[in-house]
C-alpha cells in the first residue's frame, strides 16, 4: 500500500528555502552575490547587526516572493508584515531574524503532481538568510587539546530568502522528489533564483512522522502524530529521499518498542545516508515572535497584484499542454522540451524558422531531442539548416528498389512468414537491409509502401 511501511503510514511535510538572485541583500545595499567571494567582504552595519543600523526592505525581493506565490496558486493577502524571530546562534548577528509569522505574503496554494494529487502549500514567506558557519577540524594536537574551531562568514547574512511550507500531504519519498523537481523548475522559469542546490540556493527540510495503522486505517484518524522530526539543510533530491527512507526505518523501530520518537531537528550525514540529532525542536512560542518595529506593514492594491500577474511567464504545466495541442507532440517530447525555459524558447524559435522549409514541429523536436543539441552553441537557424540537409534523400529507380526488396525476401523466407503472423517489426528489418545495400539515404516512406506491396 502506497506510503505504508511496516504497519505505519508515513506523513511528510516540506520546508524549502530558496535564495533569490537579486543584486542586493534583503535589508541593505550589500551585494547578494556572495558565493565564492572572500569571507566577510560583502557586509555592512545592517547585515552585521551593529547597533543603530536600520533595515530597508528590498522591493524587488518582495515582488519576486509574491510571484512565487502566484505561480504556486496561492492567495495574496492585501496586508502583510515582517516579524522578529528571536533565537541565539553564532550565525545570527542581531540575535533575531527578520522573517514573517502570522501574516505572510502568500497563503493557501498547491502544486499538482503527475498522478493528479494536489500538495497543499500552507504559506510562502519572506525572510533574511543567516551567516555561514565554517567548521575547522585539525588533527594535530597542541600541548593542551585538539585545535577544532568554527569561523563565521557574514557574506550570506541578509540575502533574500523565500520559505515555502507545505501541508503534510506527502506519503512517499518519490512524491517529495517529484514536488521538489517541479518547484525548482517553476522558480527557474520565473527567473528569480538559480535554485542551484550545490551552491545552497535551494535547501530542503522534510518533516517526517509515522502513524500506526489499525485495520488499514490510522489509529488516530485525521489527527497528526504527537511528534515530527525535521531534517535540516539537505542539498540534493537523492539525499532527501535517503534521509526520508532512513527516518522511516528509525522511527518505526522506536515505535515498535512502544516509545515515541523525540520531536527534534536532525542533520543528514551523506557518507552513511543516516541522520543525527542536532537539537530538540523549538515550538513557535520559543521564538518569541513580535512585529518588526523598524519596518512598516506591506499593503497591496488589486492593481499592483494584477500588474505582477501580467508579468508572469508561461509556466511549465501550461506550456506542456500547449506544446501537445499546438505542435501535436507526445507528452514525453513536451516534457523534455519544457524542462527549462531556454530549451522551450529555442524550440519555438526553431519551429518558426522551420516553417520556411516546410519542416514540421515534430521533425524539429525529434532532431533536437535525439541529437542532444547544445542550444548554447548552435543557433535555431543553423539547426534548421542541419535538419534540412540531413533530411535530403536520393532518388532511386522504383524498379531497382523492387528488385532489391524481392531479393531480400527470397534470401529471408522467414520474414514473409513472420509478417503474416502479425510481426510488423520485420518491415524495419527489410528497410535496414535495403539501406545497407544501397549505401545512401532514401525516402523511407516510399520504401515502406513498396515493401508492404511485396508482402501482400
pLDDT at residue 272 tops 60: yes
Nearest to 74 by CA among 25, 12, 126: 126
DSSP 283: P
pLDDT at residue 136 tops 90: no
Q: What integer pLDDT is reported at residue 220 of this predicted model?
A: 45
User: Mean pLDDT throughout 314-321?
Assistant: 97
Q: What percent of the chain has pLDDT over 70?
A: 93
pLDDT digit string, tens, across residues 246-256: 999 999 999 99
With contact defined as beta carbons under 8 Å apart, do 153 and 145 qualify? Answer: no
More confident residue, 436 or 217: 436
Nearest to 337 by CA among 313, 316, 310: 316
Per-residue confidence band for 284, with pLDDT thresholds at 50, 70 and 90: low
pLDDT at residue 440 tops 90: no
Q: What integer pLDDT is reported at residue 128 of this predicted model?
A: 97
User: Mean pLDDT throughout 241-245?
Assistant: 94
Alpha carbon distance 114, 175 (integer Å): 10
Q: How far is CA 408 from CA 169, 262, 434, in A?
A: 60, 73, 8
pLDDT digit string, tens, across residues 95-134: 999 999 999 999 999 999 999 999 999 999 999 999 998 8
With contact defined as beta carbons under 8 Å apart, do 359 and 384 qualify? Answer: yes
Q: What integer pLDDT is reported at residue 148 of this predicted model?
A: 78
Q: What integer pLDDT is reported at residue 389 of this predicted model?
A: 80
pLDDT at residue 390 tops 80: no
Per-residue confidence band for 435, with pLDDT thresholds at 50, 70 and 90: confident
More confident residue, 171 or 214: 171
Which structural domains are found in the chain, ordered by start? 4-306 (no CATH), 314-391 (no CATH), 398-455 (1.10.10)
- CA Rg, the chain, in Å? 29
pLDDT at residue 273 tops 50: yes
133 grid coordinates:
558557519
Alpha carbon distance 141, 442 (integer Å): 76
User: Mean pLDDT throughout 392-411?
Assistant: 79
User: Mean pLDDT throughout 440-450?
Assistant: 76
Q: How far is CA 116 from CA 70, 111, 160, 179, in A?
A: 20, 10, 32, 12
Per-residue confidence band for 238, with pLDDT thresholds at 50, 70 and 90: very high
pLDDT at residue 425 tops 50: yes
pLDDT at residue 413 tops 70: yes
Q: What angle do CA 313, 315, 318 make, to 5 degrees?
A: 125
Q: What integer pLDDT is reported at residue 141 of this predicted model?
A: 52
Average confidence score pLDDT of the chain: 90
User: Mean pLDDT throughout 204-213?
Assistant: 92
Q: Please, what is the end-to-end C-alpha distance for the chain in angstroms?
A: 51
Amino acid at each position: 500500500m502506497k506510503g505504508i511501511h511496516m504497519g505505519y503510514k508515513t506523513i511528510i511535510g516540506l520546508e524549502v528555502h530558496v535564495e533569490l538572485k537579486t543584486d542586493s541583500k534583503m535589508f541593505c545595499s550589500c551585494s547578494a552575490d556572495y558565493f565564492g567571494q572572500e569571507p566577510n567582504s560583502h557586509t555592512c552595519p545592517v547585515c552585521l547587526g551593529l547597533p543603530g543600523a536600520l533595515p530597508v526592505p528590498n522591493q524587488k525581493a518582495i515582488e519576486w516572493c509574491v510571484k512565487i506565490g502566484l505561480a504556486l496558486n496561492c492567495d495574496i493577502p492585501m496586508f502583510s508584515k515582517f516579524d522578529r524571530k528571536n533565537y541565539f546562534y553564532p550565525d545570527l548577528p542581531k540575535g533575531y531574524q527578520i522573517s514573517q509569522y502570522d501574516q505572510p505574503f502568500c497563503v493557501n496554494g498547491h502544486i499538482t503532481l503527475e498522478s493528479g494529487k494536489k500538495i497543499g502549500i500552507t504559506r510562502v514567506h519572506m525572510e533574511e538568510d543567516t551567516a555561514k558557519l565554517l567548521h575547522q577540524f585539525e588533527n594535530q594536537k597542541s600541548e593542551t587539546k585538539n585545535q577544532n574551531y568554527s569561523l563565521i562568514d557574514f557574506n550570506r547574512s541578509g540575502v533574500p530568502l523565500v520559505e515555502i511550507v507545505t501541508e503534510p500531504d506527502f506519503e512517499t519519498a518519490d512524491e517529495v522528489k517529484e514536488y521538489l523537481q517541479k518547484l525548482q523548475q517553476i522558480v527557474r522559469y520565473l527567473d528569480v533564483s538559480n535554485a542551484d542546490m550545490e551552491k545552497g540556493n535551494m535547501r530542503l527540510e522534510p518533516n517526517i512522522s509515522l502513524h500506526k495503522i489499525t485495520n488499514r486505517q490510522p489509529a488516530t484518524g485525521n489527527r497528526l502524530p504527537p511528534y515530527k522530526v525535521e531534517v535540516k539543510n539537505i542539498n540534493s533530491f537523492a539525499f532527501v529521499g535517503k534521509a526520508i527512507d532512513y527516518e522511516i526505518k528509525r522511527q518505526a523501530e522506536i515505535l515498535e518498542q512502544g516509545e515515541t520518537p523525540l520531536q527534534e531537528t536532525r542533520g543528514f550525514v551523506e557518507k552513511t545516508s543516516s541522520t543525527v540529532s542536532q537539537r530538540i525542536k523549538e515550538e513557535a512560542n520559543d521564538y518569541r515572535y513580535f512585529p518588526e518595529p523598524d519596518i512598516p506593514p506591506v499593503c497591496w492594491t488589486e492593481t499592483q497584484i494584477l500588474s505582477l500577474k501580467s508579468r508572469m511567464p508561461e509556466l511549465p504545466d501550461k506550456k506542456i499542454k500547449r506544446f501537445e495541442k499546438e505542435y501535436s507532440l507526445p507528452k514525453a517530447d513536451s516534457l523534455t522540451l519544457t524542462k527549462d525555459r531556454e530549451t522551450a524558447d529555442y524550440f519555438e524559435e526553431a519551429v518558426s524558422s522551420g516553417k520556411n522549409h516546410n519542416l514540421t514541429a515534430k521533425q524539429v523536436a525529434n532532431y533536437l531531442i535525439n541529437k542532444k543539441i547544445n542550444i548554447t552553441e548552435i543557433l535555431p537557424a543553423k539547426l534548421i539548416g542541419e535538419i534540412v540537409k540531413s533530411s535530403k534523400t536520393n532518388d532511386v529507380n522504383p524498379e531497382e528498389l523492387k528488385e532489391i526488396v524481392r531479393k531480400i525476401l527470397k534470401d529471408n523466407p522467414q520474414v514473409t512468414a513472420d509478417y503474416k503472423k502479425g510481426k510488423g517489426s520485420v518491415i524495419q528489418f527489410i528497410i535496414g537491409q535495403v539501406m545497407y545495400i544501397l549505401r545512401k539515404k532514401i525516402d523511407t516512406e516510399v520504401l515502406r509502401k513498396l515493401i508492404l506491396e511485396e508482402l501482400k
